[in-house]
Amino acid sequence: MRDAHEDSGLTGRPTTGDNDVPGRLALAVGRLNRRIRSATGGLSHGQLSALSTIVRRGPLRPSEIAAIEVVAAPTITRVVSDLESRGLVQRTPDPDDGRSFFVSGTDEGIELLLAARSDRARAVAAILDELDPDQVEALRAALPALERAAQVARPA
């Protein structure tokens, strides 16, 4: 018989089986992400996420983007530079701080984001079509918890 601590992860050993919510969720999210990754308009997941934040909430300072995306400042600096070199975002000087700037989406960035969202939605819809209605309903019911865990605000 298994020790009750084994399934809780208290023994220091990886948990297995149905009680391993963290491991199962990480595996499922990772595999789902790989299945929809090709529908990102040629951007990495991080670039697409940052572009989405910039278009949705911009113009933003790089430090604000980093905080929203939960990444380090050097990471967001690279991402913004990559997006800018592709013509997807633009920088404008911060009138209150000559050392800083704001980042906003360009028309090309907005178009690419909308196309990538549409492609990703189609990819996810195809995945959902593989499930039975009860499984789709279970995913719908789990969305608020998943959104909170991912620190994603629900659409208004």
**pLDDT digit string (tens) for 19-76?**
889 999 999 998 988 888 766 778 888 899 999 999 999 999 999 999 999 999 999 9
Q: What is the helix (H) or strand (E) element at residue 91, kind and residue range?
A: strand 89-94
- Asked if the model's pLDDT at residue 4 lies above 70, the reply is no
**What letter would DSSP give residue 154?**
P
**Residue 16 banded pLDDT, cuts 50, 70, 90:** low
Q: Rounded distance, CA 29 to CA 32, Å?
A: 5
- Asked if the model's pLDDT at residue 96 lies above 70, the reply is yes
Q: Rounded distance, CA 68 to CA 17, Å?
A: 34
Q: Rounded distance, CA 121 to CA 125, Å?
A: 6
Instruction: Enter the tokens of residue 131.
Output: 């499930």
| Domains observed in the chain | 1-36 (no CATH), 46-149 (1.10.10.10)
Contact, 101 vs 43, CB < 8 A?
no
